[in-house]
Amino acid sequence: MQAWLWLGLAIVLEVSGTVCMKLSDGFTRLLPSVLIAVFYAASFVAMVISLRRIELGVAYAVWAGVGTALIAALGIVVFRETATAMKLISILLIISGVIMLHLSQDGSG
Are the CB atoms for 7 and 59 separated by under 8 Å? yes
Count of structural domains within the chain: 1
Residue 52 in any domain: the answer is: yes
Residue 68 in any domain: the answer is: yes
Instruction: Report, as an integer, the average pLDDT of 1-29.
Output: 97
Domain that holds residue 67: 2-104
Of residues 104 and 42, the one with the higher pLDDT is 42
Cα–Cα distances in angstroms (integers) from residue 35 to residues 32, 41, 74, in the given order: 5, 10, 18
User: Distance (Å, rounded) from C-alpha 36 to C-alpha 24?
Assistant: 9
Residue 56 in any domain: the answer is: yes
Of residues 108 and 8, the one with the higher pLDDT is 8
Percentage with pLDDT > 70 across the chain:
95
What does the pLDDT look like over 48-74, one tens digit per residue? 999 999 999 889 989 999 999 999 999
- pTM value is 0.87
Residue 109 in any domain: the answer is: no
User: Distance (Å, rounded) from C-alpha 11 to C-alpha 85?
Assistant: 25
Number of Cβ within 10 Å of residue 85's Cβ equals: 7
Residue 58 in any domain: the answer is: yes
Cβ contacts of residue 26 below 8 Å, gap of 6+?
none
